[in-house]
Amino acid sequence: MKLAFIGTHGVGKTTLCYDLASVLKRQNVHVDVVKEVARLSPLPINRKTSLDAQTWILTTQVAEEIRSASQHDVVICDRSVLDNYAYLLFAAGRQKPIERFVDHWMKSYDLLFKVPMSGVVSEDGVRDTDEFFMRTIDQLVDTLLAEKKISHERLPEGQRERWIEIVRQTVLARPQLSSRLI
C-alpha cells in the first residue's frame, strides 16, 4: 500500500506522515516514510526553482518510492509526484512528456490526502514562507487534482487537531490493511 500527503509546503504533511507511521507501527505494520526530497536538491528550490531542479526532485521522488516499496508493506510519502509537478508547472509551465509520466505514476498511489493551508507557517530555514507563493502552489495542486479527476481525501480546513484521527480511520479501513489487522 502506498499513500501520500499532498499540498503546498508548510501545511503539516510531514507531521502527518510521522504520526501515521507511528500509528501503523503500533499495529505491527512494516512501514516507511519517503521524506520530502526537495530538501536534498542540489539545485535551487522554492521561487528560485527551475525545470532542471524540479525534474531532479520529481525523479528522485519516484526512485525513493520504488526503493521504499521494495522493502516495506506500507509506504507513506511526504508529497506525491503531482505536488512535484505543481512546482515544476510554476517554474517552467506545462511539460507534456513529464506530465504524461506523472499521470501514469499517480495510478501507483492507493490513497491521497490533500492537506489544506491553515494557520501560520513557521520558518524552517529551507521552505519559502511567502503566502502568495504557497497559495499559488496549493491552487495548482487543486487544479491538477480536479483536471485529472484524481481521487483523494480532503482534510477539513480549520480542524487540524482532527486530521490524524481522520487519516488513521481512513487508512485502517482500507482492505489492504484491515485484513492484516484482524
pLDDT in tens, the chain (182 residues): 999 999 999 999 999 999 999 999 999 999 999 999 999 999 999 999 999 999 999 999 999 999 999 999 999 999 999 999 999 999 999 999 999 999 999 999 999 999 999 876 767 778 888 999 999 999 999 999 999 999 999 999 999 999 999 999 999 999 877 655 54
| pLDDT attached to residue 178 | 63
33: number of Cβ within 10 Å: 17
The H or E element containing residue 11 is none
Say how far residue 122 (Cα) sits from the centre of its chain: 19
Q: With CA atoms as reference, report the closest residue to 46 among 128, 140, 148.
A: 128
| pLDDT attached to residue 58 | 97
Alpha-carbon span 169 to 30, nearest angstrom: 18
| pLDDT attached to residue 108 | 98
